[in-house]
Amino acid sequence: MTRDSSPNRRQITDVGASLTGSGTRALQQVAAVPVCATCGAQPAERQGEHVWPRWQLKLRDAAGPPAEPWRANGRVIRDRDGKPVHPNRRQRVLLPVCRDCNQTMNQRFEEPARAAIIRLMTSEWSGAASADEWVAVGRWFAKTLSLLGNPAAKYDHDLIHEEAARFGWGHPDYGWLHDAAGIAPDGLSLYVFRTENCRPSHPQHRMPVPARVVQDDGHVEDFHLFIHAENGICATLLNHPGWTVEHPLVARGDAWELLHDPPADGADLSSLPALPWTVIKWMGGEADLKPGRRLGTGLPPLQEAGGLLPDSVSTLHVKKQPDHGAEHRAARLDAARSQRR
């Protein structure tokens, strides 16, 4: 997961004048109003956008409580007593979004995919769907995972909010979520494969995809990864602007890319072999391109194993990404210490 962490907030001033006779004074009230996380221009609605839509949450909760405790990056989240965090309902996640973007995303992503998602999800993602339905499902997942990874996303459970996976540097380009065209960028991919167990296992493939690319002119481009797994499906969002990726499972026919190369009409995800969601180890780090090498100029594709391509990359080093949960954990630790005093 990656991104350049700038807060999605700005100061908007509300000025109210109170006139009470000769001693009139103008009172100013300054309130921090979140700016829309998608367009970055309009003030967000007070409640914000439900990243997981209400209809999906209601459907999932009606089927019973979650079977497994919460995990972040494969690690079980635990409370102060060491017990696994296991809420009795699905998490509500809110993101500050303006009214216009909220309506656009509902019309563009939610409504076209809703019927197919309900049908497939209730059968643990088995059953045939048309090519158009798979594209709609892919666009919905791409939108949802792009917003889930935003550092401003707020989970309703405090511990899960602190530990939930988020992009480390920034977030993918949100322009296509709200602009007039609504076309997914070429460098944004949404992969799906069949999984029947959300517990991690040893990876079978190693994919070198940098979290950050430094070009020879010093320009920096962030890549982003977000994985969501549930019984029946693993969906992987990968933002890789200007650099082609050859996904090993897609290459052998065990996964699909839904945004740009969907399966044919009648494709059934349950016809693919069931794999653990950790079947691929995505190797990040910061890549410095050699002089003359630029993103979007015909770089050889990123492929399984073999490392990042030596004719394109001069150096690759791991750089710690920002931890957006650290300040929350520190505040909780300080509060716990105060209670013990």
In this structure, are residues 322 and 168 in contact, taking their beta carbons and an 8 Å threshold?
yes
Q: Residue 115's pLDDT is what?
A: 97
In this structure, are residues 208 and 202 in contact, taking their beta carbons and an 8 Å threshold?
no
Identity at 169, one-letter amino acid code: W
Q: Residue 314's pLDDT is what?
A: 62
Integer Cα distance of 53 and 246 in angstroms: 32
* Mean pLDDT, residues 241-258: 96
Q: Residue 67's pLDDT is what?
A: 84
In the 8-state DSSP scheme, what is residue 23? G
**Segment of 76-90, 153-167, 242-256 carrying the highest mean pLDDT:** 242-256
Integer Cα distance of 279 and 241 in angstroms: 24
pLDDT band at 144 (very low <50, low <70, confident <90, very high): very high
Integer Cα distance of 324 and 6 in angstroms: 11
* Mean pLDDT, residues 187-213: 87
Q: Is the confidence at residue 119, as pLDDT, over 80?
A: yes
Integer Cα distance of 220 and 226 in angstroms: 20
pTM (predicted TM-score): 0.81
- Identify the residue with better confidence: 177 or 14: 177
Integer Cα distance of 226 and 114 in angstroms: 22
- Per-residue pLDDT tens over the stretch 91-112: 999 999 999 999 999 999 999 9
Q: Residue 152's pLDDT is what?
A: 93
C-alpha closest to that of 216 among 109, 289, 111, 121:
289
- Decide: helix, strand or coil at residue 22: helix
Which bin fits 232, alpha (ψ -120 to 50), beta or left (φ > 0)? left
DSSP string for 287-333: EEEPTT--TTS-PPPB-SSS-S-TTTEEEEE--PPP-TTHHHHHHHH
C-alpha closest to that of 143 among 58, 219, 228, 214:
228
Close Cβ partners of 208 (under 8 Å, ≥ 6 residues apart): 283, 302, 306, 307, 308, 316
